[in-house]
């Protein structure tokens, strides 16, 4: 018995040793030279960050070992959150197209990268194509999905009205058809609130860069029609959203969901009953805003989409009317489950403050209709501190649309000038002293950026900076937007490229059911991992709790390694905007 216990103890110690080693950060040269692992435009700023202890030279070499550029590491004035000191390797002056790596004397070599025009086009395309892989109710054919082809899941043609959503004309158990839409994140449910910010960001991408987005071809089933592919993808979710409005009163159901999350199975194997749950003010206003914005854009395609723009604006105004009559219907899942069955324990998206949703919806409805009744609902609080958008804070989405719409008579609406000033002031606050921190990005200025879905903060900061550039023409905003994209693609505290399928050291094990269950080694490409989050809400041990290092590439780590449509959308905006503006990076 004693020998057996000793043997068990030895095995346990060995396993502990292996686990500890697995969580120990790699200290080889590649992990200590942090850079955009995809590459750089010939004319753009080019910076790598080196975790080192002394100033030395660095070399840019091609894959045959020939040296093309020599520079000296420059110490950054602030250490990383861990206390480690970093150095910048700036090779912006080097513009010869090719494949290269950085060699740091006494340290070693970086991951390979490219310099060439359109170098980030694969990332830009892939970040939108990722939404195709998230489609519900459709088979993904091999000609479009490649090795990630799969059977159709969730036809959602027989969805039950949950008892919390019951009404006289739609009692509990009433069946509706609500197909299409995107799976929200690593799960298979569909949520109006999170679709709101996602749709707004993708629609804004097209609205801001129509000429470039008209050229983007994603190899999706609709690619041969006369509608830009990004809008084709948006339409897949928009047509689902329209089914979530109650035709009897204009209110919008909060989500379409299972009662519980599915296991780690493929979509076609997930056959649990599906429900639409109670309406909410937040969902209804997000719906109203999206439909108004969509109507503005889709009216440019009357032949391809006859009547759709009109349907969208009618649905939007109907939703607004319901929200005004029901201004504080808050989705509280715990309270709902105490009163109604079956209990629903999937994602809540329970927003308790809907003032920002009213602001955003009123902004979009004013721009779509020109009715001053909507503009009169837009109020600017003195001294308010705006934040980058999130599903729970969408006010800045209204700012974006109002600030950039040239059709508004600013003389009669002085609020527009104030909004533009606020956006530029916010961008200036972001970039102030960003050059001093360890990674020289806006994202790495503050610990508060590193929460659940932190990489979406980096992407949304980049979106704001692009908006500031479009308003001002000042290239400083564009440069820092690019730096945040560099952060996402490897210039960060972990050395990971957080976009699946892009970079030598990219996320391989996202918390994403199809990527886990499909039997394909590589994850579905183009997905943005959540990113560093020391909160550990999933109880998965992290290799470091320093804010920018609190990440693990583990498919059980949903607090740092899940994916979500509202995180991918700002990545898609940022990467495609940079592509469209690459010639302005001189």
Residues 62-85 pLDDT 10s: 999 999 999 999 999 999 999 999
The label of the residue with tokens 């599915």 reads: 262
111 shares its domain with 191: no
Average the pLDDT over 136-148 and give the result: 98
Q: Residue 23 and residue 17: Cα distance in Å, rounded?
A: 10
In 9-134, DSSP assigns E strands to 33-34, 39-40, 47-51, 57-62, 67-72, 74-75, 86-90, 98-104, 108-109, 113-115
Backbone angles phi, psi at 322, to 5 degrees: -60, -45
User: Is 70 exceeded by the pLDDT of residue 236?
Assistant: yes
Q: Residue 120 and residue 5: Cα distance in Å, rounded?
A: 56
Picking from 119, 152, 167, the residue at the C-terminal end of a domain is: 119
Residue 349: inside a domain: yes
230 shares its domain with 366: yes
Cβ-based neighbours of 371, under 8 Å, separated by 6 or more: 365
The label of the residue with tokens 């994209």 reads: 485
- SS3 call for 215: coil
140 shares its domain with 39: no
Residue 552: inside a domain: no
Which pLDDT score is estimated for 27? 53
CA distances from 363 to 140, 248, 360, 412 (A): 37, 25, 5, 16
Task: Quick: pLDDT tens for 369-413.
Answer: 999 999 999 999 887 777 899 999 999 999 999 999 877 776 778
Q: Residue 448 and residue 529: Cα distance in Å, rounded?
A: 18
Residue 76: inside a domain: yes
User: Is 90 exceeded by the pLDDT of residue 58?
Assistant: yes
85 shares its domain with 135: no
User: Is 90 exceeded by the pLDDT of residue 353?
Assistant: yes
45 shares its domain with 165: no
Q: Residue 452 and residue 426: Cα distance in Å, rounded?
A: 22
Residue 539: inside a domain: no
User: Is 90 exceeded by the pLDDT of residue 26?
Assistant: no
User: How many CB atoms are located within 10 Å of the residue 223 CB?
Assistant: 14
What is the dihedral sign for C-alpha 18, 19, 24, 25? positive
448 shares its domain with 300: yes
> Which of 156, 262, 553, 554 does the annotation list as catalytic?
553
Structure tokens belonging to residue 378: 């837009």
Report the DSSP pairing between strands 190-191 and 255-257: antiparallel
Sheet holding 33-34, edge to edge: 33-34, 47-51, 86-90, 74-75
For residue 168, indicate whether it is catalytic.
no
Task: Quick: pLDDT tens for 430-460.
Answer: 999 999 999 999 999 999 999 999 999 999 9
Report the DSSP pairing between strands 74-75 and 113-115: unpaired
199 shares its domain with 84: no
435 shares its domain with 309: yes
Q: Which domain holds residue 574?
A: 121-500+559-585
580 shares its domain with 450: yes
Which pLDDT score is estimated for 457? 98
Q: What does the DSSP 8-state code read for residue 547?
A: G
User: Is 90 exceeded by the pLDDT of residue 154?
Assistant: yes
363 shares its domain with 466: yes
For residue 364, indicate whether it is catalytic.
no
User: Is 80 exceeded by the pLDDT of residue 6?
Assistant: no
Which pLDDT score is estimated for 413? 84
Q: Residue 393 and residue 356: Cα distance in Å, rounded?
A: 6
Long-range interactions of 502-506: CB distance < 8 A, separation 24+: 502/37, 502/38, 502/122, 502/123, 502/126, 502/526, 503/37, 503/38, 503/111, 504/30, 504/37, 504/111, 504/112, 505/30, 505/31, 505/37, 505/111, 506/37
User: Is 80 exceeded by the pLDDT of residue 7?
Assistant: no
Q: Are 183 and 266 in contact (CB under 8 A)?
A: no
Task: Quick: pLDDT tens for 39-52.
Answer: 999 999 999 999 99
Q: Residue 384 and residue 395: Cα distance in Å, rounded?
A: 11
CA distances from 299 to 239, 296, 308 (A): 15, 6, 8
Percent of the chain with pLDDT over 90: 91
Residue 115: inside a domain: yes
Q: Residue 75 and residue 59: Cα distance in Å, rounded?
A: 17
Residue 7: inside a domain: no
Residue 532: inside a domain: no
Report the DSSP pairing between strands 67-72 and 74-75: unpaired
Task: Quick: pLDDT tens for 169-213.
Answer: 999 999 999 999 999 999 999 999 999 999 999 999 999 999 999
Q: How confident is the model at residue 283 (pLDDT cuts 50, 70, 90)?
A: very high
User: Is 50 exceeded by the pLDDT of residue 1?
Assistant: no
In 373-425, DSSP assigns E strands to none
Mean pLDDT for the chain?
94
Residue 399: inside a domain: yes
Picking from 98, 119, 140, the residue at the C-terminal end of a domain is: 119
Picking from 119, 150, 174, the residue at the C-terminal end of a domain is: 119
110 shares its domain with 145: no
Q: How confident is the model at residue 563 (pLDDT cuts 50, 70, 90)?
A: very high
pTM (2 decimals)? 0.95
103 shares its domain with 127: no
Cβ-based neighbours of 117, under 8 Å, separated by 6 or more: 41, 42, 97, 582
Q: Structurally, how many domains does the chain consist of? A: 2
What is the dihedral sign for C-alpha 216, 220, 224, 228? negative
- CATH number for 186: 1.50.10.10
- CATH number for 78: 2.60.40.10
């Amino acid at each position: 018995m004693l020998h057996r216990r000793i043997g068990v103890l030895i095995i346990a110690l060995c396993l502990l040793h292996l686990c500890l080693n697995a969580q120990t950060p790699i200290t080889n040269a590649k992990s200590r030279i942090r850079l955009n692992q995809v590459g750089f435009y010939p004319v753009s700023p080019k910076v790598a960050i080196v975790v080192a202890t002394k100033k030395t030279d660095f070399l840019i070499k091609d894959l045959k070992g020939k040296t093309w550029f020599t520079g000296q590491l420059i110490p950054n004035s602030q250490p990383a959150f861990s206390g480690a000191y970093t150095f910048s390797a700036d090779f912006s002056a080097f513009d010869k197209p090719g494949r290269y790596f950085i060699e740091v004397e006494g340290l070693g070599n970086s991951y390979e990268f490219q310099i060439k025009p359109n170098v980030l086009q694969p990332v830009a395309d892939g970040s939108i194509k990722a939404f195709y892989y998230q489609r519900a109710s459709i088979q993904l054919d091999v000609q479009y999905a490649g090795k990630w082809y799969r059977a159709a899941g969730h036809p959602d043609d027989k969805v039950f009205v949950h008892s919390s959503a019951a009404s006289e004309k739609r009692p509990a158990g009433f069946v509706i058809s609500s197909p299409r839409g995107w799976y929200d994140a690593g799960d298979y449910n569909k949520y109006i609130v999170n679709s709101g910010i996602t749709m707004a960001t993708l629609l804004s991408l097209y609205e801001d860069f129509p000429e470039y987005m008209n050229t983007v071809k994603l190899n999706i089933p609709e690619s041969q029609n006369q509608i830009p592919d990004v809008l084709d993808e948006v339409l897949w979710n928009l047509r689902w959203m329209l089914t979530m409005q109650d035709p009897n009163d204009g209110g919008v159901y909060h989500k379409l969901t299972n009662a519980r999350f599915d296991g780690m199975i493929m979509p076609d194997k997930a056959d649990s009953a599906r429900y639409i749950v109670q309406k909410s003010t937040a969902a209804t206003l997000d719906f109203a805003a999206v439909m108004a914005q969509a109507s503005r854009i889709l009216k440019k395609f009357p032949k391809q989409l006859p009547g759709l723009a009109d349907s969208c604006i009618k649905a939007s105004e109907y939703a607004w009317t319901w929200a005004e009559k029901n201004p504080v219907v808050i989705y509280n899942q715990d309270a709902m489950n105490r009163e109604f069955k079956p209990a629903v324990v999937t994602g809540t998206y329970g927003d308790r403050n809907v003032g920002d949703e009213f602001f955003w919806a009123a902004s979009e409805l004013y721009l779509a209709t020109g009715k001053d009744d909507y503009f009169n609902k837009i109020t600017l609080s003195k001294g308010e501190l705006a934040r980058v958008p999130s599903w729970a804070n969408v006010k800045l989405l209204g700012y974006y649309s109002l600030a950039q719409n040239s059709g508004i008579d600013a003389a009669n609406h002085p609020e527009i000038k104030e909004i533009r000033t606020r956006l530029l002031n916010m961008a200036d606050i972001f970039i102030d002293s960003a050059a001093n921190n360890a990674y020289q990005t806006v994202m790495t200025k503050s610990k508060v950026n590193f929460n659940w879905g932190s990489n979406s903060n980096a992407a949304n900061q980049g979106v704001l900076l692009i908006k500031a550039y479009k308003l001002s023409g000042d290239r400083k905003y564009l440069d820092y937007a690019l730096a945040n994209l560099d952060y996402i693609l490897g210039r960060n505290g972990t050395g990971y490229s957080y976009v699946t399928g892009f970079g030598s050291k990219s996320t391989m094990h996202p918390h994403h059911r199809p990527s886990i269950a499909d039997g394909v080694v590589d994850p579905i490409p183009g997905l943005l991992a959540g990113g560093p989050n020391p909160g550990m809400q999933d109880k998965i041990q992290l290799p470091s709790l320093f804010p920018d290092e609190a990440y693990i590439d583990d498919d059980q780590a949903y607090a740092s390694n899940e994916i979500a449509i509202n995180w991918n959308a700002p990545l898609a905006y940022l990467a495609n905007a940079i592509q469209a503006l690459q010639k302005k990076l001189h």
